[in-house]
Structure 1
Amino acid sequence: MAFQCQRDCYMQEFSTSVVSCSEAEVQLENNGKKVKVKGYNVKLKDTILFPEGGGQPDDRGTIGGVSVLRVLRQGPEAVHFVDAPLEEGQEVQLKVDWERRFDHMQQHSGQHLVTAVAETMFGYKTTSWELGRQRSSIEMDTPTVKPGEMEALEAAVNQRIRDHIPVTVQLLSIDDPALEKIRSRGLPDDLAGPIRIIDIEGVDTNMCCGTHVSNLSHLQVIKILGTEKGKKSKTNLIFLAGSRVLKYAEKSHSIEKSLVGLLKTGSEEHVEAVDKLQKTVKRLQKSNVTLLRDMAVLIAQSFKNNPERGNFFSLYNKDGDNEFMNTIANEIGFEHTTIFLTVGEEKGAGMFLLAAPTSVVDSMGKRVLELLEGKGAGKNGRLQGKAGSLAKRAEVENLLRDHCSQAKSG
């Protein structure tokens, strides 16, 4: 069957009745993680909420004020997953999240337009597409594209938008001979009812279950961001349509204003300014490495030249690194001296090095790791690794100092 959302893609509210409601559990994405959520599967007499399919994500909205969290197609029916039960036979008012729906309509119709014109102009066939949250992509059956082709394609599709070309929907029976001439990437195995045809007048005729604009002018504009290497012998074309272009321009302008303030240059000089900064940072990093190495040698020599140095040495340096710690340990020597070094945030994560006689590392290493919430490996008198927290660094230092004092007195 064709749902009301497919018969009239612009309808935002709709009255219908509940056919069934049953307890259910689905996986939903929450902050990038999939979690199981309990709720109810609701089937309606008809719906304006599009069930996921044809490369287009499902709609969001409400049924009688109850939030709809997913909409999936099962054969000829749409199943709405909601967070509260609804009474069978109940008359309900549906509302669709129009901003999300119209965005999907613009991207989906934009994909049909780009696909058709790319094939007409360059012979590039579309093998799949993805409607992403921020940008959409079309997988084309070509390993590469030639210079200038994407610019020409963008100009051509935007001319079609300016030409105000209508987009219409037809419903054909599965045995209609006209279907043989219509572009398609295949029909679903559980197809039920007539075949839905999206016709962009004079541009493209294609089988599709998704929601679309009624005129190309409703796309406003299409921006092709470029291409990326896809799967074997494929190229992914990245594009934005309609409101996404406006949001992209707004975000880019906001970033540009921030960079003007940070770099103290006009936008046309940003690339040059960032390039200079990167080169300066590299020079400073190289100088910093040299200074840290020299400082490590001086620290070690100062300890070795101290006549009252004892058999324990400890140091914390926020800006050090592994080379800094190893240089100190190697310069002092740890055959008869226990050396405990840490670098990183004083109360946060960091790195550590315990360099000591093997007996000290063997007996104290496990406790050191526990106190530092650390992970590391020990070999030849060294225990080195990452510390989850340096908050108990002083406790580790006291523990090692006491151990060294006991060993000396013994």
Structure 2
Amino acid sequence: MKGSEYVTQKLYYKDAYIKEFITKGLEQNQDHSGRWYIILNETAFYPTGGGQPCDLGTLNGVRVLEVEETEEEIRHYVEERLENIGKVKGEIDWSRRFDHMQQHAGQHILTAAFEELFQIRTVSFHLGKEFCTIDLEIENLSEEILFEVERRANDIILENRPIEAKWVSHSEASEYKLRKELSVTEDIRLVIIPDYDYNGCGGTHPRATSQVSVIKILDWEKQKNMVRVRFICGKRVLIHLHQKHFILKELGQLLSAPEDQLPVVTNKLVDANKAQAKSIANLQETQLQFEAEQLLKSVNEWAGEKVIEHVFENRPVQQLQKLARLITEKNLAINVFFVAENGDKLQFVFSRDQHASFNMKAIVKDILPVINGKGGGSDSSAQGGGAAIIRGKEILTQIQKCIQTKNFTKI
């Protein structure tokens, strides 16, 4: 098996702070999709696994795009083929690596705080590009619980406790008060924060809790029978704080209010906008009712049926639908044909009341091919749209001609 042919030494387990290394390549090849990958004699690149993304960086100056482990074979997928793999210099993207170390160690600390204070178990962890998540075995949370857990986690960080990693046998592992059951029986690696957290883990971590710097819980949401908590650690907290500070500063300037008054001023603004929106909606309703009364004065007759036809410019379909309802709800045996010329599109609404007879669904189906359009509905109300290949008036003329030659009644 290919995976057992090469056993790469994992330098990231010897020292997670290795940023550069020199080794030799064992193989350079392409996978089934044509991507080039390199297998090294030893590597400081951490492969994707355990909720932690892989390291990135370069090999002999060529970008490493992804690192994966299959069996004991670690593949470094590169941007292009290396000229020579006899001597390979690897350089880790240290900013990314240390960020991952902070987030992963922060997750251990936060998870242990949930268990220590409230006996809430973590069932999964994801380290994302912008934030991290843990899924908790509980159906609901409170702000009081989150506050206490966050406080405890940051106290552990300030205590500057060591973070130790050690390889143990299965029997040796049983001597520790592990936070969760081990998923392996061999090659067991424990990550230990003395007198606080003992956990089987294959990720990279800093040497002490102080290097996590700080943990901030952002929010939480329900996920089926669990709760998903979003959080960030270390430098991500500074970035998040900078973004929030910039936003609050901009809002303060826009609203001419100090930061502590922004919620009050914003609520007043929202209430004012709601009142204004309601006033506008009432005015629009009045305008549409007036417009409907005016259109009722222009009734024509097609094939013995009363018809109101009109072409609008830059009118949303929703307004045409409401206007048609205002007319048809009067039950005056009227068929309505509205077309809107909206830029490079033609949109239309056809409707009738219960005393009129045209089959609007059949008419729409007949007219759609003319404008390469889509649409549908029922025999009493249908709508659609397509390309503005012809003018709206031409569509209405074509509908009138078709009604005179085809059976477009509702029966």
The reply to whether TM is greater than 0.5 is yes
The answer to whether structure 1 residue 134 and structure 2 residue 134 are counterparts is: no
Aligned positions of 1:69-218 closer than 5 A: 69-86=65-82, 89-145=85-141, 148-172=144-168, 174-183=169-178, 185=180, 194-218=187-211
Match of 1:31 in 2: none
Please tell me whether residue 382 in structure 1 is matched to residue 369 in structure 2.
Answer: no
| 289, 293, 296: which one aligns with 2:288 | 296
More deviation in 72-81 or 392-401? 392-401
| SS of 1:148 mapped into structure 2 | helix
1:7-406 matches, cutoff 5 A: 7-25=14-32, 38-86=34-82, 89-145=85-141, 148-172=144-168, 174-183=169-178, 185=180, 194-232=187-225, 234-306=226-298, 312-318=309-315, 321-322=318-319, 323-327=321-325, 329-330=327-328, 339-342=337-340, 346-347=342-343, 352-355=348-351, 358=358, 362-363=362-363, 365-368=365-368, 371=371, 373-374=373-374, 376-385=375-384, 387=385, 392=388, 395-404=391-400
Cα 1:341–1:78 shift into 2, 3 Å: same
Check conservation: 2:123, 2:136, Cα contact below 8 A: yes
Displacement of 1:68 = 1.9
Offset of residue 187 of structure 1: 5.0
Identity of aligned residues (%): 26
CA distances 1:301-350 after superposition (whole Å, capped 9, x unpaired): 2233358999632223546724533235527989665522439xx33789
User: Are residues 373 and 217 of structure 1, via their aligned partners in 2, closer, same or farther at CA, if it must alter by over 3 Å?
Assistant: farther
Give per-residue Cα distances to partners, 1:168-199, cap 9 Å, x unaligned: 22122x3442445252645556x8x7322212
Question: How far apart are 1:373 and its partner, in Å?
Answer: 4.4
CA distance in 1, matches of 2:233, 2:376: 53
Distance apart, 1:137 and its partner CA:
1.9
In structure 2, what residue type is equivalent to 1:379? S
**What SS does the corresponding residue of 2:35 show, helix, strand or coil?**
strand
Greater relative CO (CA pairs within 8 A, separation 6+): 1
Q: TM-score, normalised by structure 2?
A: 0.81
Counterpart in the other structure of 1:30: none
Whether the 8 Å CA contact 1:354–1:384 is kept in 2: the answer is yes
- Cα 1:405–1:117 change in 2 (3 A) is closer
What TM-score results when the alignment is normalised by the length of structure 1?
Answer: 0.81
User: CA 1:153–1:317 in 2, change beyond 3 Å: closer, same or farther?
Assistant: same
Which SS does the other structure have where 2:271 is aligned? helix
Paired residues of 2:123 and 2:135 also in contact (CA < 8 A) = yes
User: How many residues were matched structurally?
Assistant: 389
Q: Distance in 1 between matches of 2:254 and 2:206?
A: 42
Gaps of 5+ in 1: 26-36
Question: 2:144 & 2:173 partners in 1: Cα distance?
Answer: 36
Whether the 8 Å contact between 1:110 and 1:222 is mirrored in structure 2 is: yes
- Aligned to 1:256, what secondary structure does the other structure show? helix
How far, CA to CA, are the matches of 1:154 and 1:103 in structure 2?
A: 19
With over 3 angstroms needed to count, the CA separation of the structure-2 counterparts of 1:146 and 1:309, relative to structure 1, is closer
Aligned AA for 2:58?
A: T
Contact 1:297 1:327 in 2 (8 A): no
User: For each residue in 1:104-133, what CA deviation from the matched residue of structure 2 results, as whole angstroms up to 9, or x when unmatched?
Assistant: 110100011112232222222222222122
Give 3-state SS (helix, strand or coil) of 2:120's partner. Answer: coil
CA RMSD of aligned residues (A): 3.4
The residue matched to 1:212 in structure 2 has which SS? Answer: coil
In 1, the alpha carbon distance for the partners of 2:372 and 2:283 equals 27
Alpha-carbon shift at residue 57 of structure 1 (Å): 1.3
Alignment partners' CA distance in 2, 1:154 and 1:297: 58
Distance of aligned partners of 1:347 and 1:17 in 2 relative to their CA distance in 1, 3 Å threshold: farther
Provide the rounded CA distance (Å) in 2 between the counterparts of 1:282 and 1:187: 56
Amino acid of the residue matched to residue 298 of structure 1?
Answer: F
Shift of 1:46: 1.4
Residue deviations 1:266-295 (CA, integer Å, cap 9, x gap): 222222233223323333333333333322
The answer to which of 105-114 and 324-333 deviates more is 324-333
Q: 1:406 to 1:220 in 2, by over 3 A?
A: closer
State the one-letter code of the partner of 2:276: L
Provide the rounded CA distance (Å) in 1 between the counterparts of 2:99 and 2:182. 25
CA 1:231–1:88: 2 relative to 1, 3 Å: farther
What is the alpha-carbon distance in structure 1 between the residues aligned to residue 339 and residue 266 of structure 2? 36
Question: Would you say the 8 A contact 1:165–1:216 is kept in 2?
Answer: yes
Q: Describe the SS at the equivalent of 1:164.
A: coil
